[in-house]
Amino acid sequence: MAFVTPTAEQLALYLDLGEIRVDRADLLLQQAVALAETVVKPLPDQATAVVLSVAGRAYVNPQQVSYETIGPMSVQRPQGSGGLYLTKADKTALKALAGRGGAFTVDPTPATADPSPTYPVDDGYGPPLEYEPGWGWV
């Protein structure tokens, strides 16, 4: 099954909004899909959560406001919490959903490898077989 881009209604539900600007939401969702495809292409079916997260961040904080004060209330958001971007966690999730990004082992030994020595064995090499006291091996 191929990846299906989430709809504006799904983004509204994800953000818990009663109303949503459909044209703006569609644009952000399309851009989030394009951004996610820079990491993994084609996108896996389960990438909807990452796409909604990316588009949702951009929808609620388009100007990348990090500190805001209204009357007696003030809010400070983490740096880089607005705009359209992928976090390291988003990239890791996309790779994991695509079956990539984990540790693996490569065994370079061929399946037909023989454990016996491949060098020529010389029986005459090494010390002689007789030991003479005082003289050692001669």
Q: Give the residue among 46, 54, 53 at the shortest CA–CA distance from 94.
A: 46
Is position 88 within any domain? Answer: yes
**In the prediction, which pLDDT does 13 show?**
92
Paired residues of 73 in beta bridges: 70
Paired residues of 76 in beta bridges: 67
| Structural domain count, the chain | 1
User: Residue 88 and residue 35: Cα distance in Å, rounded?
Assistant: 13
Calculate the alpha carbon distances from 113 to 92, 107, 108, 119, 120 in Å: 37, 12, 10, 14, 17
**In the prediction, which pLDDT does 105 show?**
81
Is position 93 within any domain? Answer: yes
Please count the other Cβ atoms lying within 10 Å of the Cβ belonging to residue 90.
21
With a cut of 70, list the residues of the chain below it in pLDDT: 1, 63-67, 77-83, 101-102, 121, 123-129
Is position 106 within any domain? Answer: no
Is position 131 within any domain? Answer: no
Is position 87 within any domain? Answer: yes
Contacts of 63 (CB under 8 A, 6+ apart): 82
Is position 12 within any domain? Answer: yes
Query: What b-and-e string marks burial along 103-128, b requiring 16 or more CB atoms within 10 Å of the CB?
Result: eeeeeeeeeeeeeeeeeeeeeeeeee
Find the domain containing 90 and state its range: 8-65+82-97
Q: Do residues 92 and 39 make contact, with C-beta atoms less than 8 angstroms apart?
A: no
Q: Which runs of consecutive H residues, i.e. helices, occur in 1-138? A: 8-15, 22-36, 48-60, 88-97
**In the prediction, which pLDDT does 28 show?**
92
Is position 51 within any domain? Answer: yes
Is position 35 within any domain? Answer: yes
